[in-house]
């Protein structure tokens, strides 16, 4: 059934525990407030993962978005410092069916509700998330507002309709580090028990931070890399000054076509004929744009832990979080091979250059959260650097 629309002229959040979710198409949903009290506005998207709510909320790729979780209960495992993908939450708001009254897990260090309050993140629970997700699938991701401060729905609707679209936004510049830093094995979390490789001489990697996740840095280190992280606006000269054996282009939020400095850097890197380059998510899209391709906005994006990607006879179940994709028809097939497709909708999931050690994947092989099927792409990157040595 379609979601109902309410008279938006006078409705407000009258109860101290009540919250409103207002979409740009006039849809108004009532629920209960959790997390911080206030109003937040952003693009309403949904994530189909059954686990990993803390990793999702702290992933910089969710900057500017209100995340609807399709799993019916949040908060049952609490929160802990080791599961954060950044120093703070980046999702602007959280939409849930139900909030667990109890956090019960041996790794828990606090409740989700209290943690969101501490970081000023507004949440709404008691929403029919199944109906909301159907609505988003039919109409596409849409701007919306979560409010628990008594604001009237009509006022919220006006604010939502004035908010900018995600298309055209360079959010990578907002979430990127402001200063370079080093990441090595001393920084890596001990909880991940996957196999680690420790070469006698670690591979020197420069990672461009468009909104990088800690789990990506940890997997690079686990595969034998010593990583220098540079800001999103780093120049080719700054990158090459570190004498890298490989360059990594990270994930991040927003429209890849708007990240002009990153595209320019990627074009310069492609001129270094024998330099291995690896891009994930936004970094993959930036590679595609640097190769002369075009990007486009997906209707409702790919956000979850269960997306099949691959080619004939080979399938990986992948973790994904992106709202844009590369147009396959825009790539020069003489120079580029599309190595993987998203098997749900046949969009480009990975590409590689035919005559250079350069490749990108649209999904998240670090799998935080998610399956570990695609972790081999980090080994693929280090193998290219080993060959170059």
The answer to whether 366 is a known catalytic residue is yes
The answer to whether 281 is a known catalytic residue is yes
The answer to whether 119 is a known catalytic residue is no
Residue 54 token pair: 């803390």
The catalytic residue among 43, 281, 307, 340 is: 281
**Residues with catalytic function:** 281, 364, 366
């Amino acid at each position: 059934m379609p979601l109902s629309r309410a008279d938006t002229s006078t409705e407000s959040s009258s109860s101290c525990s009540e919250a409103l979710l207002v979409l740009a198409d006039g849809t108004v949903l009532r629920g209960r407030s959790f997390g911080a009290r206030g109003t937040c506005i952003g693009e309403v998207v949904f994530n189909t993962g059954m686990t990993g709510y803390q990793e999702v909320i702290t992933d910089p790729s969710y900057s500017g978005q209100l995340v609807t979780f399709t799993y019916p209960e949040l908060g049952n495992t609490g929160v802990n410092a080791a599961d954060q993908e950044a120093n703070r939450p980046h999702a602007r708001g959280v939409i849930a069916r139900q909030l667990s009254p109890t956090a019960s897990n041996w790794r828990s260090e606090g409740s989700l509700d209290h943690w969101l309050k501490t970081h000023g993140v507004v949440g709404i629970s008691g929403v029919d998330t199944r109906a909301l997700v159907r609505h988003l699938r039919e109409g596409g991701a849409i701007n919306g507002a979560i409010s628990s401060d008594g604001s009237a729905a009509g006022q919220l609707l006006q604010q939502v309709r004035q908010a900018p679209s995600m298309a055209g936004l360079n959010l990578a510049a907002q979430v990127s580090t402001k200063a370079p830093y080093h990441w090595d094995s001393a920084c890596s979390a001990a909880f991940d028990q996957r196999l680690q490789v420790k070469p006698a001489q670690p591979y020197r990697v420069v990672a461009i931070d468009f909104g990088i996740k800690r789990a990506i840095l940890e997997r690079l280190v686990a595969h034998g890399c010593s990583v220098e992280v540079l800001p999103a606006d780093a120049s080719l000269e700054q990158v090459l000054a570190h004498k890298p054996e490989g360059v990594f282009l990270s994930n991040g939020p927003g429209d890849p076509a708007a990240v002009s400095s990153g595209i320019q850097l990627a074009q310069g890197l492609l001129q270094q004929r024998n330099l291995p380059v690896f891009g994930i998510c936004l970094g993959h899209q930036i590679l595609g744009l640097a190769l002369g391709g075009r990007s486009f906005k997906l209707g409702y994006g790919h956000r979850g832990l269960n997306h099949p990607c691959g080619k004939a006879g080979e399938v990986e179940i992948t973790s994904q979080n992106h709202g844009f994709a590369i147009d396959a028809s825009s790539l020069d097939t003489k120079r580029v091979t599309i190595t993987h497709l998203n098997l749900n909708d046949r969009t480009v999931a990975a590409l590689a250059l035919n005559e250079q050690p350069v490749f990108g994947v649209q999904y998240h092989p670090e799998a935080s959260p998610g399956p570990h099927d695609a972790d081999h792409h980090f080994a693929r990157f280090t193998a290219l650097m080993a060959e170059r040595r």
